[in-house]
Amino acid sequence: DQQVKQNSPSLSVQEGRISILNCDYTNSMFDYFLWYKKYPAEGPTFLISISSIKDKNEDGRFTVFLNKSAKHLSLHIVPSQPGDSAVYFCAATTQGGSEKLVFGKGTKLTVNP
């Protein structure tokens, strides 16, 4: 029973263009969502989060959008840079972020120079 789904295993974009990574969830109890970035041989690092009381959160080149009715969130990276090439994990939790994280399978982003 996969509660957090990232249906695109990989995505390739050109440097300078927009990268859009998608995530769907099934558990309506989730109220806090996070994106993590992972480079090979390293642990995931926190990138950006959003609470269910918001529909958008922005941090520099990274913006996360939340559509609660569709149980869908997306991460936009603008402009994409080669250093953004990594695996991106979507994660969800309940009780405002104090409960355990449930991760998606990840999307491997490749940004081509």
Partner 1 sequence: EAGVAQSPRYKIIEKRQSVAFWCNPISGHATLYWYQQILGQGPKLLIQFQNNGVVDDSQLPKDRFSAERLKGVDSTLKIQPAKLEDSAVYLCASSLNGRADTQYFGPGTRLTVL
Cα 109 to Cα 11, 88, 101, 106: the distances in Å are 5, 7, 22, 9
Q: How far is the CB of 41 from partner 1 (least distance, A)?
A: 6
Q: How far is the CB of 113 from partner 1 (least distance, A)?
A: 27
Residue 25 lies near partner 1 (rule: CB under 8 A): no
Closest to partner 1 by CB, 4 vs 111, is 4
Residue 41 lies near partner 1 (rule: CB under 8 A): yes
